[in-house]
Each structure stands twice: as C-alpha cells, then as structure tokens.
Structure 1
Amino acid sequence: MAGRFWREAASLMVVGRAANANSKIPKEGFELLFLKRNEKSSFLPNSYVFPGGVSEPSDFSEEWFDVFKKCGYEPSSLLKEFRTNAPPPMMYSNKTYPIIPEIGFRIGATREAFEECGLLITHHFPFKTLDKVELGKWQKNVHQDASQFVVMFQELGGCPGIWDLHEWISWLTPTHLSRRFDTAFFITFMEKIPNIFADDKEVVDVKVVSPSEIMKQWHSGAINLPPPQIYEVSRLLSIDSYDDLEKFARERGKKGMDHYFPVKIFTKNGFVSCLPGDDLYPEKPDYTGEQAQLVVQESIEELRGLALNHHRMEMKEHNVKLFVNITPKYGHISVKNAMEIMSQL
C-alpha cells in the first residue's frame, strides 16, 4: 500500500542531558530538540517537529555494506544485532532492499537530522568535528541528493551511528489528507545537544527545551505541535531523569515498535482521533481512505461515555486532550499519569 497512499519516513527524537540535570526540579532532567518548519512547507507548516523526513532508496543501498565493513561490521553481524524476535511494524514488511529496514530507516533518520540541521551522529568517524565550511558543503550536497550521504562516509570514513538509535514508535498519517507518511520514530541520547542553527529555508527556528516547557508553550498557544509530537512528549512527562529514560529506551527498543494509525470520528462538537486499543477503534481500519469519513451524532463527551477502554485524542478547535487508560504494547510508557501532570502545567 505504501507508495500509492503514503510515503515512508523516519524521525529522530534527540534527547540531551539538561544543564540543571542534577537539580531537584522535576521534569528538567533532559531536553529535546525541535525544529520549526517553514510556513511555506507543504506538510505541517509553522509546526515544531523532531528532525526527520522521507526515506530514500539510497538509505537501503548495498553500498552501505562496504561502509560498515570498513568499520569492522559484517552484514551477518548487523543482521543479528538489529533483527529481533519482536513483531515487525507494517512499514518494515514493505522493504525488499539489500539493507534490512531496521538499519535502513535508522540511516534515513540520521541522514535527515544531518540534512535539516547539521547534526551528524556517527561511529568511528575520524574527525571529532568537521570544519564548518566542509560540514556545510556536505550538508548542502546531501540536501540536494540523498545518495551523497553514503558518498560522504565513503570519502571521509566512519559510518552512521545507528547503534545510538533505539526504536520508539511508528505513526501513519490519518486518511483524507493530501500528504500522508508512515513514519518510524527513533530516540537517541547525547550528553549535550550541540548548537544548531536554522537555515531559514526548511528550518526557521530551533528549540532545545524540556518536555514540560514545550508542552507549556503548546498549551498557551505560542507554538504548534502536531499530534504525534503531542503524544510522544506526553509520554516523557512521567520520566524526570535522563539516565532513567536512556536505560528505558535502550531496553524497550528491543521489544518491538508499535504502529499507531489514528482513525478520526467526527462528532457534533469536534472530532475524536482513536488509536489501537480504544473500544471505538475499528476492527479493520480503513488505511487507504477509500471509505467515507466516520460521522456520529453524539458529542465528544457522549462518545467518551460509550467506551470503557480509552486510547484517543479529543480535539475541539485548538483544544486537544488525551485520554488513555490502556496498557501500551511492547512495554511502552503510558500517557495516563502524564495527562494529570499536563493539566497542572
């Protein structure tokens, strides 16, 4: 189905240790990197998002085998390390390229982070830092041609730091939108997020902020956050330690990557975006958008009362609320307690 109805993408949640991580102030142990998309962007204009973008065939090219071999990694060892017994998400089953999807999507996420904001995550890279001119040259080359990412490592050495990326979740854009993406979200950690500057083209602003601060800004209406960012940041509100989050992400990432496809139900006073596990989530979701949109006569509140198991986002104009009382799959963090925190922000 991918290709006709949506494109596949990869996104990277970059977590840095906060400067005041040793303080006793809750929710300030780590920070996240957000990039603001240009107002002219064809997808999510003016929104703050995690670095990421569309996957390219070059992310799955067999040329990467030589890059990894020069760093001491054979294809068989990579397969053994990244292929787990966890059920693969739908987007992994669509790939038949030489590089397995567990690696190819990680390469795509690192490439997009470099392309969008110059953040280069590597292993065995011979240069701790590149000259700004040299870095800018390669960033421009990769922006113009994604296949230049592998060329950069062929010429400079090293390889993408795929070991530093842990599987987190995948989100498929709802139906009846002009542009749709099935996006694999990965999470990575660094002691300090380096200084990153907007290029005033694709990216017009950069924020490195704690989960609580970005949610405060969103609640006040100062910034736009897309639903996946709202949901995923909400998970993080229940963790206040950089070390705890890193340990959790590293261990949980081996258990599987769940797939969230929101199904919209339009009510008389807004709409509900249902997720898997909700009592109102359809047994056979309409992934292609060929069916009519779901419309009911009840209000959002009345619809909530018709279900015992909630996994949904309720939206009235710009007011968004999460209601989750299910246990997430694959040992993931629930946003139940996080919503209680958010209500106090």
Structure 2
Amino acid sequence: MKRTIENVENQFETFQILNEDGEVVNQDAMPELSDEDLQELMRRMVYTRILDQRSIALNRQGRLGFYAPTAGQEASQLGSHFAMEKEDFLLPGYRDVPQLIWHGLPLYQAFLFSRGHFHGNQMGDVNAVSPQIIIGAQITQTAGVALGMKKRGKKNVAVTYTGDGGASQGDFYEGMNFAGAFGAPAIFIVQNNRYAISVPVEKQSAAQTIAQKAVAAGIEGVQVDGMDVLAVYKATQDARERAINGEGPTLIETLTYRYGPHTMAGDDPTRYRVEDEENEWEKKDPLVRFRKFLESKDLWSEEKENEVIENAKEEIKAAIKKADEQPKQKVTDLISLMHEELPQNLQDQMEEYKEKESK
C-alpha cells in the first residue's frame, strides 16, 4: 500500500512555465496570449497588489470591516480568473474578492461587502455569488451550479476557490465526488498557501499533495506553481476546455503564499511562521517574476507600472468615497430582503424596528 501511495504522489509533479527569474522553462506549455493580454495580466496583478495595500490601510483606519489580505496570491487568483469567460460562474471564498472585482463587481460594492452592507452582496448581472465565509461550503455549491449548466446545455464552467484548510473539510470531498459522478463542468481551485490560519498544511493531511485527492473522486488533478501566472492560466484554460467538452471537473492545487496575516482580525503570522520561510517565498514574488519576463520582451517598464499604480490609487479613492455615500444599512432593510412574503414573526419585528428607526 505504501508503494501504491508513493506511485500516486509521484504522478503529481508541479507544473511550471516561468522560473523565479522570469525565464521560460517549459516552452511547449506556453499559452497563446497576445502582447496585450500579457500586459493586461500584469496590470491586474499590480492593481490588485495596490488594492491590497490600500484595503489594509483602510481596515486599520476603521473604514473597512472584514478583510483577508491577498498579497502573494495574485498569480494564483488572477491567472486562473483570466482563463474564465464572462458567462462562467464564479463562487469565491472570502480571500477571493479580486477575482470578483475583475469578473465585474464594482469596486465600491466590494468595499461594502467588507463592511457587511447588503448592497455589497447584490451581484446584479455579475455571474457570481458573494464570497463564502463558511470554509468549504462553496465547493458543494459549485457542483450544483455546474450541474445546472450541464443540464441547460451551456458551454460554460463554474469555478470556485478555497485554501488548503478548505481541502480538509467534508464539503470539499462531497462536492468533488458529486461533480465527478455527474460529469459537471466545475473547476475546483485550492490555493495552498501552506497555512489554514496557523495550522501548517503538513498537519492537515498525510497526503503529499492536495492535487492527488482528485484520484479518489475520479477526476483530473493538477498541481501548479501558484507564483507563476502563466502556469496557473494554462492549467485553468486546459481545465476549462476539458469541462466544456464534456470531460468533467478538475481539481487544481496552486502552490502559493500569503505575505500578510490570515485576516486583519488579529492574526499574527510571526507566531507560527519563521523568517527564513517568509524570505524564501518573497524571492518567488509573482509580480517580480512576471515583471522580469515582460521586461525581457520589452512589454513592461517602470513608467507603465507607475501609471497603473497611480490609476489604482485614484480609482480606490473614488470607490471608497462612493461606498461612504451609500445609505446606512437599517435593520428593516435586512428584514425586507429575507423573504418574498414575511412570516408573522418577522412582520412583528418589521413594525417594531420601523417605529425605532422613525425616531
């Protein structure tokens, strides 16, 4: 049995296209992206890094509520999302607000989501649901959405994200098993940033990879360098092609790292991570790696990057101002949104709070 497990684990080598120096090490796997596409990918990564920095500052000022930092995971998040189509359905976790924004959610609404305002959870014409707070719950939901797409004959996919901690949840296995059994067009992306809050991935599972867990569900499994945006894009693009061609779902494990705390709600990563490890992963920074690659092709410059940074700061400033201008949330707002027809107990509460709010 030990030999069998080792044989399985050895099948999941890390897929990579760019090394840490931005050099192409897998030319055959290079995706067909135009120069404009490559520049757009970098623009989104730089913009998202600035958004993360500003969001942390806004949180510390008391102007945002719940926030999970994203720095370090840009290649994993945006490389995978870049392979999606607008009509594909996105089911994010709470750290995946950047994908939601690039999928079409206005930035000011993303800020309102952080504040717990109901308008921040209204997706409108964006094919997405609100970021899931319950760990792993989005996995089973994705299986259902994907099956619905299949039954409607749509050539689209449902894409979801969780962390390595989410891969320890029962919903993770149930969702993959269901999607596999029904051949649903789903892509399950596990962003393995090595820690479920403070618990290292080695203590979460005896398996050497998360990707190998696809074997038990009878679906495709891939482990990819999550700091390599081109590798993540290619792995997701291939998974999408398989899904819409009726070949079923894929589990993608991206090996990545979050440079900040788990969330801004009091987590201190220095209590469970060592400096040498953090320094090692800083050398793998996805922005630095991709910047080197683009500069070698004369597609990026310090001037271009500064333009993106300044534009991001202006748009973030305007978005937080718009969020500040939204009407304050009231209890009656929440009650009115809960049901099409209010049951008697909520009717009573509605009248009670209407009276309080009128004073």
TM-score of the aligned structures, taking structure 1 as reference length: 0.28
User: Which structure is higher in helix share?
Assistant: 2
TM-score of the aligned structures, taking structure 2 as reference length: 0.27
User: Which structure is higher in strand share?
Assistant: 1
Larger radius of gyration: 2
